A and B are shown apart, each in its own frame.
Chain A
Amino acid sequence: MPDIMNFDPNDKTPTIVDRLIRAPGVIIGVAVLLGVVLAVVLVAVWMLWGDAVRALLGSQLGLSIVIIAVTIGLMFSVIATSILFERKIAAFIQDRKGPNRGGFWGVIQPMADGLKFLLKEEFTPARADRPLFILAPCIAFIAAFIGFAIIPWAGEIHWPWMAEGETVTTQVASLDMGILYIIAVGGFGVYGVVLAGWASNNKYSFFGGMRAAAQMISYEVPMGLVLVVVLLAAGTLRPELIVNQQAETGIWNVFLHPLAFVLLTICAFAEANRTPFDLVEAEQELVGGFHTEYSSMKFAMFFLGEYAHIITGSALIVALFLGGWHVWFLPNVDDTVWWAALIKFAVYWVKIILFIVFYIVIRWTLPRFRFDQLMKLAWKGLIPMGLGLVVATGVLVALGWQRNVPANLIANAIVLGISLWYASRSPSPVTGRQDNLPEIEVRPSATT
């Protein structure tokens, strides 16, 4: 037990715990040990209950349950890793070191944070609306974590023990309404933030909640329009078929609809409340926005929800525009062996992680919007461009050119050109930049 009363802050001699935690060998050793234990357990289960496992993996119900478990586990670990990387990349951009105390290179920092959240007081202010106050983070968390149900992780699998021609699909649920499900879940997620702002009975939270409502519903409109563009070209709502189309032709949708891809990325940033659209929690003006009054795990659920939202949003964009699990020289639609599915799964997650890195770099590169700029960007920038794109794509589909790259690029260029031309001649530019400001006389400062 350390001597708390005679604690000397200048005493730098590391204790035995400090040394153990910071030694790279210990942490890597523990990680390798955990991996070996997991592998041994999996092999043991395979040896002991092989038939049951094969029956489980061979049925769609069993495989869906396995995918739910694997994906939720992967999401938690990717969230933990991306929180560490977010802080490390921020540190790199701002020329400082970032977390470096919890383990070597700060690797156990996210785990320490999680533990701290769990140990903190679970607290509700006296004047808050208690049921809604507890319900709000639950809604935010649940809405963020159920969105991945329709993500086609790795196409079809044909296990060696299955009958000829039979396959199971590596998707939690292959819904005929597909993309509509993601839109519905995204709309549901707005409630979490708005209710949090309302229930706290705090003026900061209230303003944060109002801003969140306005921002998230404003950016849902252009998102819906851009999705219409993709669906119009694909002719289906099922994301697995959209991915298969891209894999079969080898032309990702991003080459056909680059403008739609950019618009959807902007909307995904706004939907996840990430910088430059994080006015909802703007620390300088609103303290913490909607989560000012939240503590312990209830705060952590908003936090986890935000990152889960980023992962699901990235997964959706990857499926719709970046070819899902497809890379040109790797397994394609017809390769349904189990190891091909594993490669596809890995490729999908590599693409998602690259997208998360893009999110992080943007966060530490761009400053926050002003609220009027935010609304102008949505209503006067993205929505007219989305309407134009829908018309352009509709014309292309009517002519039968929906998979013709030059025709699509020309259509995109026309829409972009008209938008930029209108923006340049509009008296109040959509970016909110103010021209015609009065001239300020600049005098050289007095030097001594």
Chain B
Amino acid sequence: MPEVSDYSFVVILILAVMGITAVILLLTYLIGPKRTGAIKHSVYESGVDPTGDARRRFNVRFYLVAVLFLIFDVEIIFLYPWAVLFPRLKATEGADQQWASDLAANGFTPAFFIVGIGIFFALLTIGFIYEWRKGVFRWD
């Protein structure tokens, strides 16, 4: 058996699920009845004749939430590498200890990591408090 990367298993899974999806859609397309009509093809809005297009202007708050999400989620993703590496800095044996002492020899001591993430986290929190005070989260 040749050595295969684990990511190829994910690809196999995705292909399998895509296959199931295609089979389901095809089956229901082939089996189901097909009867058309102008009324039936109109939009269902509780029996009232639809007025205008549905893609209309919407509340700006939805847009604000999307912008906030972009900022916050990217900032939180930046926390992940730190979160995974930080506990290993305190390792006392094995390869992790070698890695941590190499880092410390180059100036990246645990204190550096704490101060660095402290500044990053302070910026994140200040931004969050600013948005809160600005009333971005007011929905009523």
User: CB within 8 Å of A: which of B42-100?
Assistant: 42-46, 50, 53-56, 58-59, 61-62, 65-66, 68-69, 72-73, 76-77, 79-80, 83-88, 90
Contact of A206 among B33, B54, B80 (CB under 8 A): B54
Contact: A173 with B10, CB < 8 Å?
Answer: yes
In the assembled complex, the CB of B118 is this many whole angstroms from the nearest CB of chain A, namely 9
Stretch at the interface among A82-90, A121-129, A246-254, A413-421: A121-129
- Interface flags, A124-136, vs B, CB<8A=1, else 0: 0111000000100
Q: Which of A146, A232, A292 contacts B17 (CB 8 A)?
A: A146
Select A142's contact among B17, B35, B46, B88, beta carbons within 8 Å: B17
Partner among B13, B18, B54 whose Cβ is within 8 Å of the Cβ of A205: B54
> Is the CB–CB distance between A64 and B32 below 8 Å?
no
The interface stretch among A94-102, A220-228, A312-320, A340-348 is: A220-228
> Given the complex of chains A and B, what is the CA–CA distance between A233 and B84 in angstroms?
9
Closest B residue to A148 by beta carbon equals B13
- Does A221 contact B69, Cβ atoms closer than 8 Å? yes
A146-B14, A173-B7, A218-B65 known; A119 and B32 CB under 8 Å? yes
Measured between alpha carbons, how far is A237 from B86 in the docked complex, in Å?
Answer: 13
B54 and A202: CB pair below 8 A? yes
Q: State the CA gap A297–B25 with chains docked (Å).
A: 7
Interface residues of B, CB < 8 Å — how many? 70
CB distance from B46 to the nearest CB of A (A): 7
Chain A residue contacts of B29, Cβ below 8 A? 122
Beyond A119-B32, A301-B24, is A68–B69 a contact (Cβ under 8 Å)?
A: no
- A146/B13 contact (C-beta < 8 A), A126-B42, A221-B72, A228-B80 known: yes
Distance, CA A371 to CA B140, complexed state (A)? 9
The stretch from A20-28, A32-40, A383-391 touching chain B is A383-391
Q: A217-B66, A297-B25 are in contact. Are A68 and B55 (CB under 8 A)?
A: no
Q: Is the CB of B12 within 8 A of A214?
A: no
Q: Which residues of B contact A200 (CB under 8 A)?
A: 43, 54
A287 touches B87 (CB 8 A): no
Query: Quick check: B80 and A297 within 8 Å, CB to CB?
Result: no
Which chain B residues numbered 19 to 34 have a C-beta less than 8 Å away from chain A?
20-21, 24-25, 27-29, 31-34
Q: B83: which A residues are within 8 A, CB to CB?
A: 228, 231-232
- 9 A-B residue pairs with CB within 8 Å: A118-B27, A120-B28, A142-B17, A149-B10, A172-B9, A296-B28, A301-B24, A390-B121, A394-B86
Interface size, chain A (Cβ < 8 Å):
82
**Leading 6 A-B pairs by shortest Cβ distance:** A235-B87, A372-B139, A297-B28, A126-B41, A173-B9, A217-B69
Where the two chains meet, the residues of B that have a C-beta atom closer than 8 Å to any C-beta of A are 1, 4, 6-10, 12-14, 16-18, 20-21, 24-25, 27-29, 31-35, 38, 40-46, 50, 53-56, 58-59, 61-62, 65-66, 68-69, 72-73, 76-77, 79-80, 83-88, 90, 110, 114, 117, 121, 124-125, 128, 132, 137, 139-140
- A372 and B21 contact, Cβ closer than 8 Å, known pairs A173-B6, A210-B62, A387-B124: no
Question: Which of B6, B69, B72 has the most chain A CB within a 10 Å cutoff?
Answer: B6
Among candidates A65, A221, A233, residue contacting B87 with C-beta atoms closer than 8 Å:
A233
Tell me if A61 and B4 are in contact (CB < 8 A): yes
A118, A301, A379 interface centre (most CB from chain B within 10 Å): A379
A125 pairs with B87, CB closer than 8 A? no
Give CA–CA (A118, B9) in the complex, Å. 30
Contact of A214 among B9, B33, B65, B77 (CB under 8 A): B65
* Most A CB within 10 A of own CB, among B17, B85, B121: B17
Q: Are A235 and B28 in contact (CB under 8 A)?
A: no
In the assembled complex, the Cα of A67 lies from the Cα of B140 at a distance in Å of: 48
Check B140–A293 contact: CB distance below 8 A. Answer: no
Contact of A220 among B8, B28, B73 (CB under 8 A): B73
Q: Tell me if A408 is interfacial: C-beta within 8 Å of chain B.
A: no
In the bound complex, CA of A384 to CA of B128 (Å): 9
Residues of B contacting A234 in the complex (Cβ-Cβ under 8 angstroms): 87
Beyond A146-B17, A201-B55, A213-B62, 19 extra complex contacts between A and B, CB < 8 Å: A65-B12, A72-B16, A118-B32, A119-B32, A122-B28, A122-B34, A127-B41, A141-B17, A145-B17, A145-B20, A146-B10, A202-B44, A202-B54, A206-B55, A224-B73, A232-B86, A237-B84, A384-B128, A394-B86
Cβ-defined partner of B62 (8 Å) among A64, A214, A231, A232: A214
Contacts of A391 in B (CB 8 A): 121
Contact, CB under 8 Å: B125 / A387: yes
